[in-house]
């Protein structure tokens, strides 16, 4: 009894394992929304853009750090052994020097450094030195001193926009690739239905021939139609597989993954998009286009600041340097100990003005001229880019209505062609037409059905493209951009 129970238990576990293995190997359905959300996390382009944003954030932190106090500590230990005749032998001396320092750069160009020296040998001789350098002409002012900081801030902002742009284009690419799979699947369905109609015609023709109502040569025509439909189906299956691989690659997952796409309601998907007016389209496009925003930031940022830097390089250089020190004496007595820092024995102060006048500095003047010309060229390029973006918006908006009209005509053509095939098949059944005319009606119906599928996909893709131009892709699909 126990053996039977054990045997039954082993059989049960084996059946469960087989069912689990089959469930793991079964293809997994992937909806359009799931494909989009998976691509936002897995796509290599998105990951690369996020990593580049990390670099830009760190570069900004480095530029901000430039205007904070910088601390340093240097320590040395020196041991020397010298032969001296007066003492009558070798003399060993040990000197320890500890030198902490702090420096600061202010947004107006002031450079301040404070250094403390601590020399310890047979006596302790500390010292303190302070230096302040203030540019009064060249190199003075926040626009000049903080130029690198402003560039880093612009770069970080541009990096954020690039991440968003990458996510937008990735989502759009995934939608288009998904629609390509749907289109390939619908094409396969159309040709499979065409094969069924051709096989029905073949069976009907055989009955007619057997009854003596049609000649045997009629069978050749309908059999050729069956063979053509079978050939198209094999090609459709290959196209479907390639479209699926392309979708998985666009998402950023292994193309060999056992994944199939879910069927989607094309009509419901079309209703997901909202078409603004032409004026709204151009306005929203200019406000949300990433490339146009980056061009504006670059023009008003680094390009404009390059003129200030080049103009500053042509100015006279007048620097005020203040130095003050205390201590750093030698030997003992008032020169040693912490008291030597404040007893006034070893103190020095100085102030110096340094003037450097460039005379006919052609290189600096040339750099300034180049910077100004580059700024004007960037303005012209920005205006041209604006016109180009507006043209793209107009073309995208017009293509919507062109594709919509094409969809309307394709729907009418498919409906009328279906009626035509139904009538032709009845005529063929009564012997009023031959197989060639029926075959023509079948082919025209298949072509009309395929044209309808293409029109639906084309209309959807035009809506997706307009959504990308408007900068509304992420809002339409409720995608949040994650910055690393």
What is the DSSP code string of 363-387? Answer: HHHHHHHHHHHHHHHHHHHHHHHHH
Start-end of H helices in 289-361:
290-298, 304-313
- Residues with Cβ < 8 Å from 96, sequence gap 6 or more? 75, 76, 77, 78, 118, 119, 120, 121
Predicted TM-score (pTM) of the model is 0.82
Phi, psi of 225 (to 5 degrees): -65, -40
Q: How confident is the model at residue 315 (pLDDT cuts 50, 70, 90)?
A: very high
190 within 8 A of 450, measured Cβ to Cβ: yes
C-alpha–C-alpha distance, residues 466 and 472, integer Å? 9
Q: What's the token pair of residue 200?
A: 């029905």
| pLDDT band (50, 70, 90) for residue 100 | very high
Q: Is the pLDDT of residue 64 over 60?
A: yes
311: confidence class by pLDDT, cuts 50, 70, 90: very high
Domain boundary assignment for the chain: 29-63+146-309+363-476, 68-145+317-356
pLDDT for 82 beyond 90 = no
Helix, strand and coil in the chain, % to nearest 5: 65, 15, 20
Band of residue 43 on the pLDDT scale cut at 50, 70, 90 = very high
DSSP state of 300: I
Percent of the chain past pLDDT 70, that is, above it, reads 91
Give the pLDDT score at 21. 40
Cβ contacts of 158 within 8 Å, gap of 6 or more: 56, 294, 297, 298
Question: What is the four-CA torsion angle of 254, 259, 263, 264, rounded to 10 degrees?
Answer: -30
Q: pLDDT tens across 326-382, in order? A: 888 777 777 777 887 778 788 889 999 999 999 989 999 999 999 999 999 999 999
Mean pLDDT in the chain?
A: 86
- Which tops the pLDDT comparison, 266 or 166? 166
Collect contacts of 277-283 with beta carbons under 8 A, ≥24 apart: 278/393, 278/394, 278/397, 281/393, 281/394, 281/396, 281/397, 281/466, 281/469, 281/470, 282/390, 282/393, 282/394
Q: Look at residue 308 and tell me whether its pLDDT is greater than 90.
A: yes
Query: Would you state the pLDDT for residue 304?
Result: 94
**259-261/28-30 β-pairing:** parallel
> Residue 84 — pLDDT band, cuts 50, 70, 90?
low
The confidence band for 3, taking pLDDT boundaries of 50, 70 and 90, is: low
Q: Model confidence over 195-238: pLDDT tens digits?
A: 888 888 778 777 777 766 666 666 777 788 888 888 888 998 99
Residue 23 has pLDDT above 60, yes or no: no
Q: CA-CA distance, 32 to 35, in Å (whole number)? A: 5
Reading the block at residue 344, the tokens are 């006034």
> Which of 146, 74, 78 has its CA nearest to residue 109?
146
Task: Give pLDDT, residue 25.
Answer: 55
| pLDDT range class, residue 16, cuts 50, 70, 90 | very low
CA dist 108 and 141 (Å) reads 4
Range name among 21-35, 251-265, 470-484 with the lowest pLDDT average:
21-35
**Hey, which bits of 121-254 come out as E strands?**
124-135
Tokens of 394: 């107009």
* High-pLDDT (> 90) share of the chain, %: 57
pLDDT at 324 over 50: yes
Answer yes or no: is pLDDT of 119 > 90.
no
Question: How far, in Å, CA of 40 to CA of 3, rounded?
Answer: 55
Are the beta carbons of 287 and 469 closer than 8 angstroms? no
> Structure tokens of 5?
């129970």
Q: Tell me, what's the pLDDT at 4?
A: 46
Q: Are 293 and 162 in contact (CB under 8 A)?
A: no
CATH architecture assigned to 29-63+146-309+363-476 = Up-down Bundle (1.20)
Confidence category of residue 19, pLDDT binned at 50, 70, 90 = very low
58: DSSP letter: H
The pLDDT value given to residue 49: 93
- The rounded distance, in Å, linking the Cα atoms of 186 and 75 is 78
Q: Burial level of 14, CB count in 10 A (0-12/13-18/19+)?
A: exposed
């Amino acid at each position: 009894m126990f053996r039977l129970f054990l045997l039954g238990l082993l059989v049960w576990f084996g059946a469960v394992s087989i069912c689990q293995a089959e469930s793991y190997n079964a293809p997994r359905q992937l909806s359009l929304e799931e494909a989009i959300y998976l691509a936002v996390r897995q796509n290599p382009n998105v990951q690369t853009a996020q990593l580049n944003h990390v670099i830009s954030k760190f570069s900004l932190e480095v530029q901000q750090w430039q205007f904070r106090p910088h601390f340093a500590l240097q320590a040395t230990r020196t041991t020397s052994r010298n032969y001296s005749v007066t003492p009558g032998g070798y003399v060993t001396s040990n000197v320890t020097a500890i030198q902490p320092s702090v420096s600061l750069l202010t947004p107006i160009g002031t450079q301040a450094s404070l250094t403390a020296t601590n020399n310890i040998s047979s006596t302790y001789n500390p010292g303190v030195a302070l230096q302040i350098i203030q540019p009064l002409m060249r190199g003075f002012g926040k626009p000049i001193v903080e130029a690198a900081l402003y560039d880093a801030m612009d770069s970080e902002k541009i990096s954020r926009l690039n991440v968003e742009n990458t996510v937008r284009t990735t989502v759009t690419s995934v939608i288009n690739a998904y629609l390509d799979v749907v289109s390939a699947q619908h094409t396969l369905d159309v040709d499979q239905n065409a094969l069924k109609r051709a096989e029905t015609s073949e069976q009907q023709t055989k009955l007619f021939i057997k009854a003596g109502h049609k000649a045997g040569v009629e069978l050749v025509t309908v059999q050729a139609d069956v063979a053509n439909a079978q050939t198209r189906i094999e090609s459709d299956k290959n196209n479907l597989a390639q479209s699926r691989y392309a979708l998985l690659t666009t998402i950023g997952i292994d193309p060999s993954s056992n994944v199939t796409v879910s069927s989607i309601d094309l009509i419901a998907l079309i209703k997901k998009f909202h078409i603004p007016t032409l004026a709204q389209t151009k306005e929203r496009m200019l406000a949300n286009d990433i490339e146009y925003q980056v061009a504006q930031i670059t023009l008003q940022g680094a390009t404009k600041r390059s003129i200030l830097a080049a103009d500053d390089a042509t100015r006279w250089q007048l620097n005020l340097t203040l130095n003050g020190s205390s201590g750093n004496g030698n030997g003992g007595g008032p020169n040693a100990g912490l008291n030597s820092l404040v007893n006034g024995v070893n103190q020095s102060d100085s102030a110096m003005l340094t003037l450097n006048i460039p005379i006919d500095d052609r290189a600096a003047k040339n750099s300034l001229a180049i910077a100004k010309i580059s700024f004007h060229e960037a303005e012209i390029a920005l205006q041209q880019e604006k016109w180009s973006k507006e043209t793209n918006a107009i073309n995208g908006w017009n293509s919507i209505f062109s594709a919509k009209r094409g969809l309307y005509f394709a729907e009418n053509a498919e409906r009328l062609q279906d009626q035509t095939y139904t009538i032709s098949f009845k005529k063929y059944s009564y012997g009023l037409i031959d197989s060639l005319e029926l075959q023509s009606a079948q082919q025209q119906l298949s072509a009309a059905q395929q044209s309808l599928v293409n029109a639906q996909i084309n209309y959807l893709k035009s809506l997706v493209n307009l959504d990308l131009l408007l900068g509304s892709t992420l809002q339409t699909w409720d995608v949040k951009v994650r910055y690393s």
